[in-house]
Amino acid sequence: MKQQDLIIIGGGIMGLMTAYYASPFVRNIVVLEKSTIGNKDSASFSFTRSIRSDYLDPEYSRLAYESQQLWKQLQEKIDKQFLFSCGCMNIVKKTVTPNFSTTYAQLAYNNEVSINLLTKKFSKSALKKTFPQFSADMACLDIQAGFLYQPVINEFILKTLKERGVTIIENIALEKIEEKDNVTITTNKGIFITKKLVITTALGTNIVLQKIQGNTLQFPIYPDKPQECKYVYIPKRLQKMFSPKNFPVFAYLDVGIYGHPIFDAKKQCIKIGFYNPPDVQKKMNKTIYSIDTFINECLPILKNAKRELVKDADQCSYDLVKDDNFILGNLPGYKNIIVGCGWRGTGYKYAPLIGKNLMQLSIQGGSVYNIQRFAPERFVI
């Protein structure tokens, strides 16, 4: 194969978005994927992902909002709807988290107000009137939030990359990576040479780094995923109440709950996930400790609804980082190798922003965004 302008190792959403944003600038781009694109066991594949700005950290909120604008631009190019702006509701219940002022809902609300993002707080009575599905004492709505329907996104990105001549090679095994003037990648399917290499392999990043000649750096990444993820099938008489027009993405992040409204007309179910937030594990809540206990406490209208474990999509694999920040930038000691990983279970919503950053770093020599906080150099001893 002739020399490439850009090779991307990792065909998940971050790698595909990098190729998408790079392909108008350079012609010779190859994506190398160890399995297959869209494999349901990969971290990027599911049916829905939340899109929201209600973080506790203003910088992540600003970046999430910026990414939302990129998603909106993408939606304008696609006839099928994939962006559902139904809002994201963070709820609070006195019997679960009695100190409202320290809850995720309240703190995220304060943050969004401070940076002028659209948000709204609901008292118990206002919540009951507007969203009677919930049984809660207070809630905060991230108004511009919602969810993404991934199959439409995947179809569009892959179709566009094909039209632009991007080569995707699946089921490939790396053997050796070496940087001299260019980067040479030896694989079971031949040798590839490229001007720039971008690595977007999530939990597999350290394995790839071990293949790079002369590199000893390993990132403090560790895996995690929800304890359980379930579809809850909505009775026919209640289906309208749980459609995206009438029901938001929802979360009770103090106890590790998140969920999406009905996203499939055939299934007519909502999705709920439960994980252990690191700061809650030491004092695990005794009221909500599973999806079933959350439904009983905060969505009692669904108490008798049929439930089943999610098996037809990934259950949100997390590549967590020790300092809880993204890793994004040049691999220390290498001018032509860029890495992006450590998405903390929240990365998909940032995918166009990350893809744009990785394109700028590899093709344009620097990012227009302030990403110093995410620099890989912070892990060099």
CA–CA distance, 334 with 317 (Å, rounded to integer): 29
CB-CB contact of 263 with 147 (8 Å): yes
Find residue 88's DSSP bridge partners.
142, 249
CA–CA distance, 63 with 354 (Å, rounded to integer): 10
Find residue 185's DSSP bridge partners.
177, 192
Same domain? 235 vs 285: yes
Residue-level pLDDT at 226 = 77
Is residue 352 one of the residues assigned to a domain? yes
Is residue 214 one of the residues assigned to a domain? yes
Domain containing residue 232 = 88-143+226-315
CA–CA distance, 136 with 115 (Å, rounded to integer): 26
Residue 192 sits in a domain whose CATH number is 3.50.50.60
Is residue 69 one of the residues assigned to a domain? no
Residue-level pLDDT at 104 = 96
CA–CA distance, 142 with 119 (Å, rounded to integer): 5
Q: How far, in whole angstroms, is CA 360 from its chain's centroid?
A: 20
* Residues present in the chain in total: 381
What is the b/e burial string over 184-212, where b = at least 16 CB atoms within 10 angstroms of the residue's CB? bbebeeeebbbbbbbbbbbbbbeebbebb
pLDDT in tens, the chain (381 residues): 689 999 999 999 999 999 999 999 999 999 999 999 987 777 778 899 999 999 999 999 999 999 999 999 999 999 999 999 999 999 999 999 999 999 999 999 999 999 999 999 999 999 999 999 999 999 999 999 999 999 999 999 999 999 999 999 999 999 999 999 999 999 999 999 999 999 999 999 999 999 999 999 999 999 887 789 999 999 999 999 999 999 999 999 999 999 999 999 899 999 999 987 655 544 556 789 999 999 999 999 999 999 999 988 766 678 899 999 999 999 999 999 999 999 988 899 999 999 999 999 999 999 999 999 999 999 998
Same domain? 207 vs 233: no
Is residue 71 one of the residues assigned to a domain? no
Q: Under 8 Å CB-to-CB from 210, ≥6 apart: which residues? A: 218
Residue-level pLDDT at 282 = 46
Helix (H/G/I), strand (E/B), else coil: 335? coil
CA–CA distance, 161 with 21 (Å, rounded to integer): 10
What is the count of structural domains for the chain?
2
Residue 124 sits in a domain whose CATH number is 3.30.9.10
Q: Which amino acid is at 207?
A: I
Alpha helices in the chain (DSSP H): 13-22, 58-75, 104-114, 124-130, 150-163, 205-209, 291-298, 351-359
